[in-house]
A = this chain, B = another copy of it.
């Protein structure tokens, strides 16, 4: 196995994880979580989104969270925006990095953004220029890269086309997001290999959901393709607590643990990260699906006779 020697994790739990929570999580709790994550060694955190509070009430406190976090040097604080209004709010709040999202599938884009793929990209072009003028880094998120809830499996050509458009308008980074968690390792491997012909590895990330339990396997497939940037959600935050089976992103601690075990350095303190997962569980008031509960848990106990 020839693998990257290091990996960078972008923690999206405070945004992609919490946005589907029905109970309102106070801004102070989000700030506590974000700071614990930073203290554990995360160098990139998607900490909120500046979107309509009517559609995503959980993120209505974006300004409050942005104002409350103690910015650490060397940490990328990313916020998601979807339109000009959101960008104005984000810039006013002092973000240093934004994510712009375009689905690779026409239908989802139209339903979510009232714009087709090309129109959405056209809308982003001046916003991207505005970000660069303000010294803000832009990650172009290509969503539904494996499958769309309306169109089914999404052909790689559509993903590559959106990627090229994002690059042509100057996006700093590209992230391939398997929004609904429908991808499988062969698809992910091939998609990553094709995209790496357009984008250097240090500018290309992946974002998996664990809907079908394949987030880690897909991360492995991406890693083997040469990918070294991964989104993760602490504890596996996300999905909807009232719809079992609607899963969040792969758990950051499971991903970091696997990478470190395989010799891929993340710079993250796994013990502190596991404590962040426990904190996230306290915030949402229920157990989260991440598997790694403690690094020494495996080696103290006997097994029953016949266990193999």
Task: Report A's interface with B, CB cutoff 8 A.
Answer: 1, 3, 16, 19-20, 49, 51-52, 55-56, 59, 80, 82, 99, 101, 108, 111-113, 141, 143, 147-150, 152, 177, 179-182, 184-187, 189-190, 207, 210-214, 216-217, 219-221, 224, 244-245, 247, 251, 254, 257-258, 261-263, 287, 290-293, 297-308
A162 nearest CB across to chain B (Å): 12
| B149 close to A308 (CB less than 8 A) | no
| A262 close to B186 (CB less than 8 A) | yes
- Bound-state CA distance A148–B143 (Å) is 41
On whether A51 and B306 interact (CB within 8 A), knowing A216-B216, A290-B213, the answer reads: yes
Minimum CB distance partner of A259 in chain B: B184
| B302 close to A211 (CB less than 8 A) | no
Q: Which of B180, B216, B224, B297 contacts A298 (CB 8 A)?
A: B180
| A141 close to B308 (CB less than 8 A) | yes
| A291 close to B108 (CB less than 8 A) | no
On whether A301 and B49 interact (CB within 8 A), knowing A143-B308, A217-B258, A291-B211, the answer reads: no
16 A/B residue pairs, CB under 8 Å, sorted by A: A1-B186, A19-B304, A20-B304, A49-B306, A55-B306, A56-B306, A112-B307, A150-B299, A180-B299, A212-B291, A213-B216, A213-B290, A220-B220, A244-B293, A245-B291, A245-B297
Contacts of A19 in B (CB 8 A): 304, 306-307
Minimum CB distance partner of A142 in chain B: B308
On whether A51 and B186 interact (CB within 8 A), knowing A149-B299, A217-B217, A245-B293, the answer reads: no
A180 nearest CB across to chain B (Å): 5
| B211 close to A298 (CB less than 8 A) | yes
Q: Which of B189, B217, B290, B308 contacts A179 (CB 8 A)?
A: B308
Minimum CB distance partner of A55 in chain B: B305
- Bound-state CA distance A247–B254 (Å) is 14
Contacts of A302 in B (CB 8 A): 111, 149
- Bound-state CA distance A304–B52 (Å) is 11
Minimum CB distance partner of A150 in chain B: B299
On whether A212 and B292 interact (CB within 8 A), knowing A177-B308, A307-B179, the answer reads: yes
| A291 close to B186 (CB less than 8 A) | no
- Bound-state CA distance A141–B306 (Å) is 11
- Bound-state CA distance A211–B184 (Å) is 21
| B1 close to A291 (CB less than 8 A) | no
- Bound-state CA distance A247–B289 (Å) is 12
Contacts of A258 in B (CB 8 A): 184-185, 212, 214, 217
- Bound-state CA distance A270–B177 (Å) is 26
- Bound-state CA distance A303–B214 (Å) is 20
- Bound-state CA distance A305–B113 (Å) is 8
- Bound-state CA distance A302–B213 (Å) is 20
